[in-house]
Amino acid sequence: MEQESKIKKLGTPITVGNIRFETNVLMAPLAGYTCFPFRLMARKLGAGSAYTEMVSADGLKYNDRATARLLFTDEREKLKCVQLLGSQPTVFERAARSDRLAAFDIIDINMGCPVPNVVKAGEGSALLEDIPRASKIIEACKRSGKVVSVKCRIGMNRSKIVIEEFAKMCEDSGADMMTVHGRTRDMMYDGEPLYEYIKLAKDTVSIPVFANGSIDSLSKAEEMMAKTGADGVMLARYGFENPLVFSELTGRKTSETKYSLLTEQLEVASECFDELYVLTYIKKLCSYFMKKLPGTKSLKMDLYRCGNVSELSKVIKNIFDR
């Protein structure tokens, strides 16, 4: 009973550095998904924070359209969190201090991406094998004066579990928080998370530790909290498939439906981005929302045939407002 009483409750506020998250249920950065409209929706439904898609620290020096879209934000996003990917401490420091990131409150450093091209470049999960370099990157970002978090895995493979040493390094280097994906790099996104290693990270440091991996329901989130003692959870793919889960996990009442959410997303995205991007994003979001929804095969074909926002709006109504 005493151990159970120590398990933190989902949906409670938490302070990271000098920033207060309204809840301890967070939305992970997802390349191709966590654009500005989606982040607004996640926060509205109960997420304590939602990160931008992965942004190349080196790529910030180019004033290109793609990076501008990744970094798009405005006053509606009250807490602004960006995730950076890279391998050079000096590049991270330049990025963290740059005008491009001036609006952002929190910098998250990607030290967990397992994608081969990223790892070959010495980025993402590759930093688990270069702890001194990882430390210098954290210190470089901290010199910007911003709150810094780290998202990592537990090691490259089961014979190279480094999370205890890595967690201690993160704290000693000045990180204000870390999120541990409970898989090794070679597990990619498959298999049961190795809960004991997330717990090991939590037991090693005093900074907040969030747990990530296969959380797709309230019961899974509660299991994660109970097995790891984490300060909170971070959702990934399922947060995109069913954003209403944020309300479920945090106990926040909502009258929103998938139809009302899609309609609002279409409106916000159309305000911020060009029509081609809006069509791509909304079709992708709508497809996720349609999973396990019966009788939608022909409607899904209609969805992908849409050539403009007006057509898309009508198809969304046919699918969800029935």
Residue 209 sits at φ, ψ, to 5 deg, of -120, 125
Contact 230, 8 (CB under 8 A): yes
List C-alpha distances in Å: 97 to 17, 93, 102, 314.
Answer: 18, 6, 7, 44
Provide DSSP, 48-68. S-BEEEEEETGGGGS--HHHH
DSSP label at residue 34 = -
> In the chain, what is the greatest distance between 2 CA atoms, to the nearest angstrom?
59
Could you give the CA distance from residue 221 to residue 213 in angstroms, rounded to a whole number?
10
Nearest of 137, 162, 154 to residue 84 by alpha carbon: 137
For the chain, the C-alpha Rg in angstroms (whole number) is 19
Give me the half-sphere count of Cα atoms (radius 13 Å) on the Cβ side of residue 71.
25
Could you give the CA distance from residue 140 to residue 233 in angstroms, rounded to a whole number?
26
Residues involved in catalysis? 113
